[in-house]
A and B are shown apart, each in its own frame.
Chain A
Amino acid sequence: ELKVEQNPLFLSMQEGKNYTIYCNYSTTSDRLYWYRQDPGKSLESLFVLLSNGAVKQEGRLMASLDTKARLSTLHITAAVHDLSATYFCAVDNAGGTSYGKLTFGQGTILTVHP
């Protein structure tokens, strides 16, 4: 059974600081996703990481994937209040050529303080 573990689960940051969220998973997969969820809202796609060594950046967020270590990171640079949300990593566990059977991590609740 695929397990996806995130840490930390709660992250309180000051504006302007940097931090990293970690996502470990237990079985081989070459598709990993990061999503953002605001309270009471849907899941917004941030990144799709497809291969070992993949790195993607969007604004103050940068995600990377190490398939050998089964580890993905989401790095936050110079945090701002607007980044406060819950961040989920999800690993695609679909069989064959189908996609989208995602196993989600527990989520990391990020709060950015002034």
Chain B
Amino acid sequence: EPEVTQTPSHQVTQMGQEVILRCVPISNHLYFYWYRQILGQKVEFLVSFYNNEISEKSEIFDDQFSVERPDGSNFTLKIRSTKLEDSAMYFCASSEGLYNSPLHFGNGTRLTVT
């Protein structure tokens, strides 16, 4: 069964550094998403992306964050200057975008900011 793949599985970075989290969505999916889950807390929406532009974004998704689909397969989340509170599990998801289609989530990247 096709799946969403994310790399790396774990990223450790120092505060103030830039990180790029990478995702390969399911190939025939049209909508792409980033969510995050701080340890022990709810899963939170960050951003949705369709037709090479952001569809919706949350208040969390401030100027420090950006997303890109640099080629036909990858979807990336960049955090420009990481803060301690950015430490979380970041999940990429994709969807066919149909009314009844679920989001398919990747295995996540655990980001630790020290």
Does A28 make an interface contact (CB < 8 A)? no
Residues of A within 8 A of B48 (CB): 94, 98, 100-101
Q: Nearest chain A CB to B99's CB is how many angstroms away?
A: 7
Q: How distant is the Cα of A44 from the Cα of B103 in the complex, in angstroms?
A: 9
Of residues 31 to 81 in A, which have CB atoms within 8 Å of B's CB atoms? 31, 33, 35, 41-45, 48, 50
Q: How distant is the Cα of A63 from the Cα of B101 in the complex, in angstroms?
A: 16
Once A and B bind, how many residue pairs between them come within 8 Å at the CB atom?
A: 62
The tally of residues in A whose CB lies under 8 Å from a CB in B reads 24
Q: How distant is the Cα of A35 from the Cα of B108 in the complex, in angstroms?
A: 15
Does A103 make an interface contact (CB < 8 A)? yes
Q: How distant is the Cα of A106 from the Cα of B41 in the complex, in angstroms?
A: 7
Does B28 make an interface contact (CB < 8 A)? no
Query: Which A residues lie at the B interface, using CB under 8 A?
Result: 31, 33, 35, 41-45, 48, 50, 88, 90, 94-95, 98-107
